[in-house]
Chain A
Amino acid sequence: MDLTFSNSDLSFRKEVVAFLEEEYPSDIKEKQDKRVPLEKEEIIRWQKILHGKGWFAINWPTEYSGYQDLSVTEKYILQEELANVNAPTMIPFGVGMCAPVIYSFGTDQQKEKYLPSILNSDVWWCQGYSEPGSGSDLASLKTKAETKDENYLVNGTKTWTTLAQHADWIFCLVRTETTEIKQEGISFLLIDMKTPGIEVKPIITIDGSHEVNMVYFDNVEVPKENLVGKEGQGWNIAKFLLAHERSGIAGIAALKRELRRLKDLSSDIQLGEGTLIDDPQFRSKIEETEIELTATEFTELRTLAAMSHGGSPGAESSILKIKGTELQQTISELFVEMLGYYAHPFYLENELGSNETVGPDYAAPVMPHYLNFRKVSIYGGSNEIQRNVISKAILGL
């Protein structure tokens, strides 16, 4: 047991800080600091910069990334420093989700074809999992892939597809066979979004933003070589991937930064003779959140340490998903509370950052953020489902 950083860890931290001072583009920083949504180009540009340094696909085996391997502690330091400057979070669908499936289950040809462009952020991926009738019960999905000559013929509808409007490719769970046990007929298929028969329709959410979409497949022909793994193996791949998705979902470093920001801003808000942070009720909510956050941080560190010794993130990642998302929601709620009436003026996504806003200059994105974050206890397997996972897999109930 040892919580101290070694000398080499400390010099790694210096390297990260120096790199960010040098390489983090000021135009992106300005938008990020104002909490203005980024353009696709800006996200890609930043991911390429990180990749150039070998700090983008840090969880890939080095044989695929070509990176120098980072220790668990170094990854932790990197995440923390990236979050400290509020660098854009990477879009996980390619690098964090599709790629691990391809290098774990794909053929050599598939690895050669898909991994380099993911590494370079040249191809934008999205995730085709949920369907209108299949949310928490993902295995009930109905999108069909039938064999037609050398191809699959795909028909069905995917929903809540994040940033599909930007995507070049989509990885999908499809039904290749109707089986007694519904999990057994599912396969994992890669589909080019330019294929005829695909239509993307926006879903506007309560924060007024366009982040998620419906994706319709109407007789879409997909080459059989785009199947990853074997027919019917899709459910196992999905489970593997969900565990991957959940382990990064806590976003601890970003939460620490936001909590700090909440403290800083609320120390500047006049309340009677003092400031808002002196208000005992508000203060104790911040402190309670901080304790919960610290606990979650160390739960994550324990999980990561176990993984670095060869363990895989199992049901423990459900703890991180639940606690991380609850913290995201609590902190976004405290920002709303902090603002009082100035949380109410409402601007659409494309109006943010303009001079139209009233109230403090940080006010406009606060309410949209709170509203948007209602999704986090629903997506990636709702928190009710995560509790089921823990009760079954860990408690044996």
Chain B
Amino acid sequence: MDFTFNEEQTLIQGQVEQFIQKEYDWETRQKLSNSDLGFGEKNWKTFAELGWLGISVSEDNGGFGGSAIETMLIMEEFGKGLVVEPFLETVVMSLGLLDRYGSDQQISDVMSEVINGKIHLALAYAEPQSRFNLSDVVTEAKKEGDNFIINGFKSVVMNGPVANKIIISARTSGKQMDKKGVSLFLVDSNTAGLTKTDYKTVDGRRASDINLENVTISNDSLIGSLDKGFGLLDEAIDRSILAISAEAVGAMEVLYKTTVEYTKTREQFGTPIGKFQVLQHRMVDMFMEYEQCKSLLYMATMKNEEGSLDAKKAISGLKYQVGKAGKFVGQQSVQLHGGMGVTDELNVGHYFKRLTTIGTIFGNADFHLKQYTSL
């Protein structure tokens, strides 16, 4: 049993921490989030230069061969800075999947471009009716000669607006809910018949709804084997849950600490409100929720990394806890900041909003409690 990080991991954590402190003050973050692009192009280049974009990619495919621990550390720091750059979407969700299952052609097309910060990716897995069920896929891909023709609709595709290539789940056989018969395709976002409606999301990020009408792509766009995309997708989402949970842990740390500091300085009835026992206990609960999430995060990340049999159960347990704790910590941070907590000006409300979307993304607490029970 060892909960310490190795030298390289400590180094990268320090690097990201320093980036947030030096380049990512609150005002800058808001400017980036409110810009047309929604994040900093320059920051993305920095990520590439520092090697963060390829850190968890295998060495065979041109990466640094890092583990999930590195991703966790990066995401936790990003959570503290409420970073809007789409590291989760491009790197964790999509690149990780291609690194493991992409064909040689796909890897040579995409890998170095992403690692060098030149292109973006997105993973389109949700549909209007699917809620959190990854195998509920109506979008259809039909084989025709050397091509597949895709028809359907993908909802709330995070990082959709800037993604040059999109991994799309589509049904190639079976019934609507069947796991077998789901296939994954790597599709250029400028392919004819693919239309995006782009929008801002409540956490200050960007997403798209994607309509697919007779989108014709060649056979070699298939990722992995036909009808067997579900397992690949499921694994990618598990890794993404670990990453987004790390982000949540970072965000919760900032929130509980900010709230504690605020209640030390805000005076009402002639005394700092942090002296009131009812608020002290509330903050103790916030702190404990954060610690509990962190414990499950470390546990689940290591289990997944080791390929442990109960890793999936651990990941659902983590996501349940993150959903529950994120809501509590977010809501109470707002409450304890009083009116200031609901202003757009203060960062607290924005952390709360991100924790709110994290609570839903990849399945909410109810969903993962059910998963946990079934595993």
Report the Cα distance A387→B132, complex, angstroms: 39
On whether the beta carbons of A344 and B360 are closer than 8 Å, the reply is: yes
Contacting residues, chain A, for B132 (C-beta < 8 A): 340
Is B353 close to A, CB under 8 A? yes
Is B295 close to A, CB under 8 A? no
A206 and B156 contact, Cβ closer than 8 Å, known pairs A345-B199, A345-B201, A378-B338: no
Shortest B41–chain A CB gap in Å is 22
On whether the beta carbons of A374 and B339 are closer than 8 Å, the reply is: no
Interface size on B, residues (CB 8 A): 48
Nearest residue, chain A, Cβ from B133? A272
On whether the beta carbons of B366 and A281 are closer than 8 Å, the reply is: yes
Is B177 close to A, CB under 8 A? yes
Interface size on A, residues (CB 8 A): 47
Contacting residues, chain A, for B370 (C-beta < 8 A): 281
Nearest residue, chain A, Cβ from B349? A206
On whether the beta carbons of B339 and A375 are closer than 8 Å, the reply is: yes
Decide if the interface of chain B is mainly helix, strand, loop or mixed: mixed
Which residues B262-288 have CB closer than 8 A to chain A?
267-270, 273, 276, 278-279
Decide if the interface of chain A is mainly helix, strand, loop or mixed: mixed
Nearest residue, chain A, Cβ from B129? A270
On whether the beta carbons of B201 and A344 are closer than 8 Å, the reply is: yes
Chain-B contact segment, one of A78-86, A133-141, A237-245: A133-141
Contacting residues, chain B, for A135 (C-beta < 8 A): 268, 338-339
Report the Cα distance A1→B193, complex, angstroms: 68
Contacting residues, chain B, for A342 (C-beta < 8 A): 128, 155-156
User: A98-133: contact bitstring with B at CB < 8 Å (1 yes, 0 no)?
Assistant: 000000000000000000000000000000001001
On whether the beta carbons of B203 and A344 are closer than 8 Å, the reply is: yes
Question: Contacting B341 at CB < 8 Å: which of A271, A276, A347, A374?
Answer: A374
Report the Cα distance A345→B158, complex, angstroms: 10
Is A172 close to B, CB under 8 A? no
Shortest A344–chain B CB gap in Å is 4
Contacting residues, chain B, for A370 (C-beta < 8 A): 356
Contacting residues, chain A, for B345 (C-beta < 8 A): 203-204
User: A132-163: contact bitstring with B at CB < 8 Å (1 yes, 0 no)?
Assistant: 01111100100000000000000000011000
Is B344 close to A, CB under 8 A? yes
Contacting residues, chain A, for B199 (C-beta < 8 A): 345-347, 356, 358
User: A339-362: contact bitstring with B at CB < 8 Å (1 yes, 0 no)?
Assistant: 011111111000000001011000
Contacting residues, chain B, for A37 (C-beta < 8 A): none
On whether the beta carbons of A345 and B338 are closer than 8 Å, the reply is: no
Which residues A261-318 have CB closer than 8 A to chain B?
270-272, 276, 279, 281-282
On whether the beta carbons of B278 and A384 are closer than 8 Å, the reply is: yes
On whether the beta carbons of B133 and A205 are closer than 8 Å, the reply is: no
On whether the beta carbons of A382 and B338 are closer than 8 Å, the reply is: yes
What are 5 of the A-B contact pairs (CB < 8 Å)?
A205-B349, A271-B131, A374-B341, A374-B352, A378-B335
Per CB-CB distance, the 10 closest pairs between chain A and chain B, nearest first, are A206-B349, A137-B268, A341-B156, A346-B202, A204-B344, A344-B201, A281-B366, A358-B209, A137-B269, A345-B199
Binding site for A on B (CB under 8 A): 126, 128-129, 131-133, 136, 155-156, 177, 197, 199-203, 207, 209, 267-270, 273, 276, 278-279, 331, 334-335, 338-339, 341-345, 349-350, 352-353, 356-357, 360-361, 364, 366, 369-370
Binding site for B on A (CB under 8 A): 130, 133-137, 140, 159-160, 203-206, 208, 212, 270-272, 276, 279, 281-282, 336-337, 340-347, 356, 358-359, 367, 370-372, 374-375, 377-379, 382, 384, 387
